[in-house]
Amino acid sequence: MPTVGMARVAGTILDVAVPPASRRMAGVSMAGFRGRAEDFLSLQVVPYPACTVFIDLGDAELVDDASGARKRGSIVVGMTPGRVRGGGRDIDLVQVRLSPVVAHAVLGAHAESATTVVGLEDLWGRDAERTREQLHAAKSWDDRFAVMAAALARRQGTGRAVDPEIAFVWGEMLRSMGRVRVDRLATEVGWSRRRLWSRFRSQVGLTPKRAAMLIRFDQVAHRLAAGHSAARVAAEHGYVDQSHLSRDVLAFAGMTPTAVAVAPWLVVDDLAWSAQEQALRG
């Protein structure tokens, strides 16, 4: 049975469900969210080292602050989407995080762009709406997770896998929490630095340096949200000084470390994702 808990996000109580360990797929983590907000709940999306798929069964929408574009239904968000906010009143959705290693096969061309927000139907065609209908008809979170897992496995089975060298490099970046030299990784896989840079960017959507920075930022954001000081986090994660950390946080999240520390989007992470994080290493 899925694990179910509750989280208070910006004054709204959300029921949170995650699949049991036996149902988890390498490189994939899933969670379900349900709740009713008295006022419109609006949360800024914090960059994360995975592509995120939102399949909404309520009234949620994503808003791109840069363009003003609004999207509803089934949406795919890249790892560094810029200033994007999600929100709604009737919250009922399935959220899926895909390691870029898996996203390349499951999402196809979109996985090569880490900065965009697109409709899932643009990538999956009719299969996106069919999956959404099946999720809506499912009687339980367990059934919903089974529907989503089947759809992902189907797409992954027919998709194009990343180079094994790219999968290795991504895994090493995660294991080092983003603190690894790209030149060393190129040597380990037997490629030139230029070839690694080109192949990684074409399959992951970010340069190796940018990907490593994003992984480190993610560690930093969660440490800040856990209540640790910016000075301590900077020292523990290899920043030259606190101002260097502040510049990276501003570049990725568009806000200061103080604002990141209280970002509502991060409130649910420990409940919804921490136990599943190992799955994203696939």
In a shared domain, residues 257 and 141: no
- Residue 47: domain span: 3-161
- 78, 81, 87, 90 alpha-carbon torsion, rounded to 10°: -10
Interhelix angle 182-189/208-225, nearest 10 degrees: 120
Does residue 105 sit within a domain? Answer: yes
d(CA 62, CA 116): 12
Cβ proximity of 88 and 57 under 8 Å: no
Does residue 281 sit within a domain? Answer: no
Does residue 207 sit within a domain? Answer: yes
Does residue 220 sit within a domain? Answer: yes
Cα angle 225, 271, 11; round to 5: 70
In a shared domain, residues 113 and 170: no
Cβ proximity of 15 and 33 under 8 Å: yes
In a shared domain, residues 97 and 150: yes
The total of other beta-carbon atoms located within 10 Å of residue 63's CB is 19
- What's the token pair of residue 100? 């870029």
Residue appearing with tokens 């919903």: 144
This prediction's pTM = 0.90
Does residue 270 sit within a domain? Answer: no
In a shared domain, residues 107 and 48: yes
The total of other beta-carbon atoms located within 10 Å of residue 55's CB is 25
In a shared domain, residues 20 and 55: yes
In a shared domain, residues 238 and 139: no
d(CA 15, CA 8): 9
Average pLDDT of adjacent 10-residue blocks, the chain of 282 residues? 75 86 86 87 86 92 81 90 85 93 87 80 94 95 95 94 96 94 94 95 93 94 91 93 94 91 77 63 58
In a shared domain, residues 32 and 146: yes
The number of folded domains in the chain is 2
Cα angle 192, 195, 198; round to 5: 150
Does residue 107 sit within a domain? Answer: yes
Which CATH number belongs to the domain containing residue 180 in this structure? 1.10.10.60
